[in-house]
């Protein structure tokens, strides 16, 4: 269920009860973008367990978009490019 933040303020107690009794998460949105979520205690416990086992998911350990989330998946840097040919004007002596 998606609820704009402005509506969530007015319905906060009802939303908390909904999550507590149904277990269904509520996504809080601003301009259509999810900003936060209300989740059940069980979901929170699972999230905390996953985060504790994955350093890249810990708070402050965000991964830039488009980058692999695991260090083992990090692409290896390409070897430096070497010059295959060089232009030498007529009469150039080295």
Report pLDDT digits (tens) over 7-57: 999 999 999 999 999 999 999 999 999 999 999 999 999 988 888 887 666
Q: What are phi and psi of 46, to 5 degrees?
A: -65, -45
Q: Given a cut of 90, is residue 94 above it in pLDDT? A: no
The model's pTM is 0.54
CATH code at 14? Answer: 3.40.1620.10
Residue 73 in domain = no
How confident is the model at residue 78, as a pLDDT?
73
Q: Residue 77: its pLDDT value, please?
A: 77
Domain membership of residue 85 (yes or no) is no
Q: Does 19 reside within a domain?
A: yes
Whether 22 is covered by a domain: the verdict is: yes
The total number of structural domains in the chain stands at: 1
- The parent domain of residue 46 ranges over 2-53
93 part of a folded domain? no
* pLDDT tens for each residue of 55-74: 666 665 555 555 555 555 56
Q: Where are the beta strands (DSSP E) in the chain?
A: 2-4, 26-30, 33-38
- Give the N- to C-terminal CA distance of the chain in Å, as an integer: 73
60 is a domain residue:
no
Can you give the pLDDT at residue 71?
A: 55
């Amino acid at each position: 269920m998606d609820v704009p933040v402005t509506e969530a303020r007015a319905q906060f107690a009802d939303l908390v009860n909904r999550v507590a009794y149904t277990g269904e998460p509520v996504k809080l949105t601003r301009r259509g973008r999810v900003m936060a979520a209300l989740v059940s205690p069980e979901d929170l416990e699972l999230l905390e367990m996953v985060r504790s086992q994955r350093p890249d998911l810990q708070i402050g350990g965000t991964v830039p978009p488009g980058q692999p989330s695991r260090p083992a998946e990090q692409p290896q840097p390409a070897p430096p490019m070497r010059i295959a040919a060089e232009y030498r004007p007529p009469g150039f002596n080295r």
